Amino acid sequence: MQHKLTTPVTREDLAPLKAGDTVLLSGIVYTARDAAHKRMMELLDKGEELPFPVEGSALYYVGPTPERPGEVIGSAGPTTSGRMDAYSPRLLDLGQAVMIGKGARNQAVKEAAVRNGAVYLAALGGAGALMAACVKELEVICWEDLGCEAVRRLKVEDMPLTVILDPHGGDLYHSGPAAYLDSLN
């Protein structure tokens, strides 16, 4: 099933999603990779605010390439999400609702997604130009010294994503192969 979502999202917005569904995501999406996540944890440890509103937010694990003249963003394909596993449960518990990347997640992230009614969406790896075409506006909001890993505020329109972890404990990396093997019998 295909769903259209606009950020920020609520638990109620995400509740109908099931592993394997597709999502066309619009609204504001923040970018952050491992270096930015480490800095976010340092801020939280000091009792300071994050550089963006976390409640209902979507975080895309991407380090875009520089844009060409006339473009909003360069290639914007996902990075491996597992590098954020140590940080994601804390952010989900603070209200982050959507994680976007590629690759499997650990058990702690899966449990935090269910506990918070959040989702993990996969962006198509190797399709950085497709993902970039969905970005209509870009603003670096902090840690410009991190280069491609700086936190950016993206305005996206109909970003095509696949639900990997749903808010009910569904995991496409488990159910997908099982369904395929069943179809062979």
Residue 80 structural domain: 2-184
Listed range (11-15, 38-42, 75-79, 134-138) with the worst mean pLDDT: 75-79
Listed range (45-54, 61-70, 85-94) with the worst mean pLDDT: 61-70
In this predicted structure, what is the pLDDT of residue 158? 97
pLDDT higher at 129 or 100: 100
Query: Which residue among 3, 37, 168, 174 is the active-site one?
Result: 37
Domain count, the chain: 1
Active site residue 3: no
Strands annotated E in the chain: 2-6, 22-31, 58-60, 98-101, 119-122, 135-142, 151-165
| SS3 (DSSP) at 99 | strand
> What CATH number has the domain bearing residue 104?
3.20.130.10
In this predicted structure, what is the pLDDT of residue 175? 85
pLDDT class of 46 with cuts at 50, 70, 90: very high
